[in-house]
Chain A
Amino acid sequence: MYAFEYQRPKSVADAVAALAKSGGKALAGGQSLVGAMKLRLANPGTIVDLSGIAELRGIKKEGDAIVIGALTTHAEVASSSVVKQSIPALAAVAEGIGDRQVRNRGTLGGSIANNDPAADYPAAVLALGATVHTNKRKIIADDFFKGMYETALAADEIITAVSFPVPKKAAYMKFPQPASRFALVGVFVAQTGGGTRVAVTGAAPHVHRASTIEAALSKSFTADAAKAVKIPADHLNNDIHGSAAYRAHLVSVMASRAVAAAG
């Protein structure tokens, strides 16, 4: 790890100011950033640690949505009675991330701001049609995820919370890459007020919606309908853990299993 400056502001405004002034990186749970720093792959110069900002934590129900503070850990989401009651699939996503240590440190905001191509939360945010709240604005999920490790966030913009509308039904199915246990392919299926939404992680350079499966499920919300959809392999990831064709196949299989689990 290279030497770095460390700041721990107490408010979002101070954090934004610190980021703007230093050009450094915001630190949430640190489960990706600190690893990259230890390997000397990241050299942020200044770390702005958000953990002192109380307003970024917490889970509450607001109308028909669950609002989760950006610094809420995976373990907190997984064990929240509010989340488990309203969107059990979201609690299940959190419960399935990494290992116990990661879940106790890693945060919702950190995960979606990082937008790892194989992370689980982006699939949930996208499929549930969630809204990302920042210090500047509200960004709908369809506009938030832009590319591999790329989001709509500006350099001095901090996620404050994510608002998840409660779906009619939802489930997430992940087929883990055998070594990292990140999603080789993960599919989140949701029946929302805005229709059936299906988001895929792990398969492509970034999270995306599977429109052909959404169309099939809109006609018939059944496992067989999802499985019958042939996903083209073009543009999907191809590496030592799985070919693009395998990933394409798994998208249909995991979608069908998610539909079955959603009931």
Chain B
Amino acid sequence: MGNSELNTVGQSVRRKEDYRFLTGCGQYTDDVNPPHHTHAYFLRSPHAHANIRRIDTAKAKAAPGVVAVYTGADLTGVNGLPCGWLITGTDGQPMKEPPHPVLAQGKVRYVGDGFAMVIAETPAQAKDAAELIDVDYDAVPAVVNPVEALKAGAPQIHDGAPGNKCYTWALGDKAAVDAAFAKAAHVTQLDIVNNRLIPNAIEPRAAVASYSRADDGYTLYVTSQNPHVERLLMTAFVLGLPETKVRVIAPDVGGGFGSKIYLYPEETAMVWASKRVNRPIKWTAERSESFLADAHGRDHVTHAELALDPDGKFLAMRVHTTAAMGAYLSTFASCIPTILYATLLAGQYTTPAIYCEVTAAFTNTAPVDAYRGAGRPEATYVVERLVHAAASEMGIAQDEIRRRNFIREFPYQTPVALLYDTGGYDACLDEAMRIADVQGFAARKAEAAKRGKLRGLGYAAYIEACGLAPSNIAGTLGARAGLYEVGQVRVNPTGGVTVFTGSHSHGQGHETTFSQVVASRLGIPIENVEIVHGDTGRIPFGMGTYGSRSLAVGGTAIIKALDKVVAKGKKIAAHLLEAAEADIEFKDGKFTVAGTDRSKAFGEVALAAYVPHNYPLDKLEPGLDETAFYDPTNFTFPAGTHICEVEIDPDTGKVAIVNFSACDDFGNIINPMIVEGQVHGGVVQGIGQALLEQCVYDQESGQLLTGSYMDYALPRADDVPSFKVTTKVTPCTHNPLGAKGCGEAGAIGAPAALMNAVHDALSAAGVTYLDMPATPHRVWSALQAAKH
């Protein structure tokens, strides 16, 4: 029979990569040990804000095992780290981009700001020597809160950013919004803090940099989500090296969540130094360094208002957000609270007028950048908290107020720049309510009340924009890079296929999902497909993985390359079968002359391409190796409804999640098991933000108070329930896979669903407002305050 059993699209194929991960055979950056390598240690500021009067490295240089010690003064000819997205302010001026030095010089601006690098024979020797560096600090007042940073008299962090302001930016029709508010029957207002998070990938950041005098070239192994972008920024903007002389390899990477998108100072300094010491240099962050110096996420302070008519129809939304940038602009910091935030404020609703103003502030903290969801969780949180509060205030059921405002006609142009191609919001809401057993909630609440517990139910009908995205639109919005993806399909002479993708897998399961796509299209076994990613030396220039883009953009690039392979295969088959090319059909792994039983298997055609003895060499090149670059015409718009049920113990304030249900629309699904895993992981991260996680800096000293797992609470298995997860499908209309992306949805929907449930539970006790995370202490304190 044909090979339809080889079509695994839509099946939960077990992950190809898990054998090596589960047997300890993964090859991570820290597993790379070039001969004669040295070890780097970075000396970091213990102060949040200090002038450095003097650095004396003499003792460190003389310490045992030390190869070299460098400070910022040594890095002559090295530029600062660039920001990849230019935001233009409401005043028409470009954002302030103060220098982001590879090693801080003259001044340190947050606890963890690196200013010296010690290279030694062992990590311990490097660390011992770093303690011998004599530094004369002049500590000055620090400011860690973005609202405080913008106030008059706040400590000034950069000379080039007066008032610590990076930009004020706005989106939407302010006049229309103000007019709508003026005639609203009801206005709901909230002041919201979106808590700062620390990413905590299981593998800390690491790098191994080598220089070869043989070709005057560099090789960098690094924990990166996008090695080509890393190379481009490092060579062209910072080090002034030709791209051709630097190979960046991101091997197995143990989680990123955004934090490994960016070009960081450490690996940049190491590449620079590898030529000077003429030996490979290795660095793996200690977990304490990860807390201090990985780019953090979120950190918004927002005032949000929703205007409604008497029936609960949304008339307008007005949002003012202050967003922390941290001490320096990280690679994509500027676009997160703007382009990826304000554009999502329509949510799933027909709100006709929306205005959002964002002021970005420098603070004496680690830089802030994208973290799973990146702007979209913050937007969903604003929208869905407003909707919940409005429904509560107006006495409208939570599902009903959403239904009264859902978008139902597509394509839909929002007032905040996005064009939704497709969606089915009622279907997800209905299904989520069914699996959450919303009908039985009143009885469960009454039963809980008998036990002295407070039950609550919360909804989040979220939307996200994924598949980042059309380069030309991104360019007009300030992107300094393209946002396409590349796929190369190399058919080997024996019929096996090697696929080179510009996407990068650091936990997403691309090696399986992409193999399913390729094997199904070519009608070959999945084992015959090899996915290669993460190496600028092997792969055409690609953009990497973030923003749930890999399948929708990277997968489509592979599809386009497959189309070229099949088209050329038809030409070869036509020659071999002595038929017209137009009569050749390709199906189930065979090229067949239409209407006949004459055919050539895919492998036979591949062999003919590489052993072209009987081949139309006058008309066709030998070989079967095709590349496609794909630039989408639009974002994709995954959406869904999450429903969370909590039970609160008023004696302790502890919130228990008794039920979490999600119905998501990710478009077409290749591997349901991997999708479900992505939802689980995302929801757990969302629960982490809502219940547990909070990065705290001391307001006075600027010290990081949550610098380890002793004080920074990550969710554990027993903090979360068994999830009820399902999907509905409206295929994306503008990519051939019909896929939208699923990587971030959980982290986007869960915080709002959970916090709405907490508010629902606490409302009977008189609590009206609580910020994330809803820790026991915070919930109990709110209950006490409501009593008085």
Chain A contacts for B712, CB-based, 8 A = 179
Decide: A241 and B711 in contact? CB cutoff 8 A.
yes
Interface flag for A39 (CB, 8 Å): yes
Decide: B781 and A178 in contact? CB cutoff 8 A.
no
Decide: B780 and A1 in contact? CB cutoff 8 A.
no
- Whole-angstrom CA separation of A22 from B708 in the bound complex: 32
Report which of A1, A180, A246, A253 forms a contact with B124, defined as CB distance below 8 A. Answer: A1
Chain A contacts for B711, CB-based, 8 A = 179-180, 240-241
Interface flag for B652 (CB, 8 Å): yes
Chain A contacts for B653, CB-based, 8 A = 246
State the main secondary structure of chain B at its contact with A.
Answer: loop
- Whole-angstrom CA separation of A206 from B706 in the bound complex: 22
Report which of B127, B651, B777, B784 forms a contact with A241, defined as CB distance below 8 A. Answer: B777
The interface centre, meaning the residue of A3, A175, A178, A179 with most chain B CB atoms within 10 A of its CB, is A178
**A-facing residues in B487-536 (Cβ within 8 Å):** none
Interface flag for B567 (CB, 8 Å): no
Report which of A39, A178, A240, A246 forms a contact with B705, defined as CB distance below 8 A. Answer: A240
**B-facing residues in A31-84 (Cβ within 8 Å):** 39-40
Decide: B775 and A178 in contact? CB cutoff 8 A.
yes
Map CB proximity to B onto A229-250 as digits: 1 under 8 Å, 0 otherwise: 0000000000011110110011
**B-facing residues in A207-263 (Cβ within 8 Å):** 240-243, 245-246, 249-250, 253
Chain B contacts for A179, CB-based, 8 A = 692, 706, 709-714
Q: Known: A253-B651, A253-B652. Contact between A242 and B709, CB under 8 A?
A: no
- Whole-angstrom CA separation of A182 from B128 in the bound complex: 32
Decide: A240 and B651 in contact? CB cutoff 8 A.
no
Q: What is the CB-to-nearest-CB distance from B716 to chain A, in angstroms, rounded to a whole number?
A: 8
Q: Known: A240-B706, A246-B777, A249-B780. Contact between A175 and B652, CB under 8 A?
A: yes
Interface flag for B722 (CB, 8 Å): no
Map CB proximity to B onto A174-196 as digits: 1 under 8 Å, 0 otherwise: 01001110100000000000000
**B-facing residues in A1-36 (Cβ within 8 Å):** 1-3
Chain A contacts for B706, CB-based, 8 A = 179, 240
**A-facing residues in B647-679 (Cβ within 8 Å):** 651-654
Map CB proximity to A onto B231-270 as digits: 1 under 8 Å, 0 otherwise: 0000000000000000000000000000000000000000
**A-facing residues in B751-788 (Cβ within 8 Å):** 775-777, 780-781, 784
- Whole-angstrom CA separation of A180 from B781 in the bound complex: 21
The interface centre, meaning the residue of B124, B651, B653 with most chain A CB atoms within 10 A of its CB, is B651
Chain B contacts for A249, CB-based, 8 A = 780
Q: Known: A179-B710, A180-B711. Contact between A246 and B780, CB under 8 A?
A: yes
Chain A contacts for B128, CB-based, 8 A = 2
Decide: A246 and B781 in contact? CB cutoff 8 A.
yes
Chain A contacts for B651, CB-based, 8 A = 253
- Whole-angstrom CA separation of A40 from B710 in the bound complex: 16
Chain B contacts for A40, CB-based, 8 A = 127
Decide: A180 and B709 in contact? CB cutoff 8 A.
yes
Chain A contacts for B777, CB-based, 8 A = 241-243, 246
Q: What is the CB-to-nearest-CB distance from B278 to chain A, in angstroms, rounded to a whole number?
A: 29
- Whole-angstrom CA separation of A39 from B286 in the bound complex: 10
Q: What is the CB-to-nearest-CB distance from B781 to chain A, in angstroms, rounded to a whole number?
A: 7
Interface flag for B55 (CB, 8 Å): no
Q: Known: A1-B124, A240-B705, A243-B781. Contact between A178 and B692, CB under 8 A?
A: yes
Nearest 7 Cβ contacts at the A-B interface? A179-B713, A178-B713, A180-B710, A242-B777, A253-B651, A246-B777, A179-B711
Residues of A with Cβ closer than 8 Å to B?
1-3, 39-40, 175, 178-180, 182, 240-243, 245-246, 249-250, 253
Give 7 A-B contacts (CB < 8 Å), ordered by A residue. Answer: A40-B127, A175-B652, A178-B692, A179-B710, A179-B714, A242-B776, A242-B777
Known: A243-B777, A246-B777. 19 other contacts (CB 8 A): A39-B288, A40-B127, A175-B652, A175-B776, A178-B775, A179-B692, A179-B711, A179-B713, A179-B714, A182-B710, A240-B696, A240-B706, A240-B711, A241-B777, A243-B781, A246-B780, A249-B780, A253-B651, A253-B652
